[in-house]
Structure 1
């Protein structure tokens, strides 16, 4: 488990260094996750240790909601003041994401049908 966790932290560190060095407008852990994704594609999937570590972390995923809950309590006054703006932004971004996903699905289904008709 230590080796798998070390790999995850290494990719996060590399992502942080890339973001800082290249001044990218992306969080370092997101860049590290993208690098890990590319490495897993290149390798053909996670190894046994990384898969075991990932499943262990996913079992305790609910612990990550504790800081979010503390933030809600800490910034309760700000949320009360800006609640409608945040709610509108959440609803609009959710609808936009759903629309983009639907359009992408439509394009991919068309492409899949064309490929099956030709083949």
Structure 2
């Protein structure tokens, strides 16, 4: 129970910070960043949250059911725009792969200059 309480506390703190400071970042992401910082700073021990996090991870598929139902609700709209959606996904993936390959090849050549 302690693990769930810690995870929920960080989630709540993230939402409070987001609402209080009107940040464009979601509260749960802020809470996750704070939780990660607390783990690295040894404020929170991994043993305290490991069991609760493992349970949540094992049953993660349950968290995606509402999104799946929502997608089914908009299936006619998705079907009407399927070509644009697929084109955007394929195009974005191709651009990311090309840019990543170009950057890594440039970094590889820079490393060779310095004996890397």
The verdict on how the C-alpha distance between 1:84 and 1:104 changes in structure 2, with shifts beyond 3 A counting, is: same
The verdict on how the C-alpha distance between 1:58 and 1:73 changes in structure 2, with shifts beyond 3 A counting, is: same
Aligned to 2:10: 11
- 2:81 alignment partner, SS class: helix
Aligned to 1:34: 33
Aligned to 1:72: 71
For residues 12 and 109 of structure 1, the distance between their equivalents in structure 2, rounded to whole angstroms, comes to: 41
Q: Deviations over 1:74-99 (max 9, x none)?
A: 11122123333333443455456656
Q: Deviations over 1:17-42 (max 9, x none)?
A: 11111111111111110110111110
Shift of 1:49: 2.8
Long gaps (5+) in structure 2: 110-115
Aligned to 2:42: 43
Long gaps (5+) in structure 1: 111-116
For residues 42 and 19 of structure 2, the distance between their equivalents in structure 1, rounded to whole angstroms, comes to: 27
After superposition, the CA RMSD in angstroms is 3.3
- 1:24 alignment partner, SS class: coil
Q: TM-score, normalised by structure 2?
A: 0.73
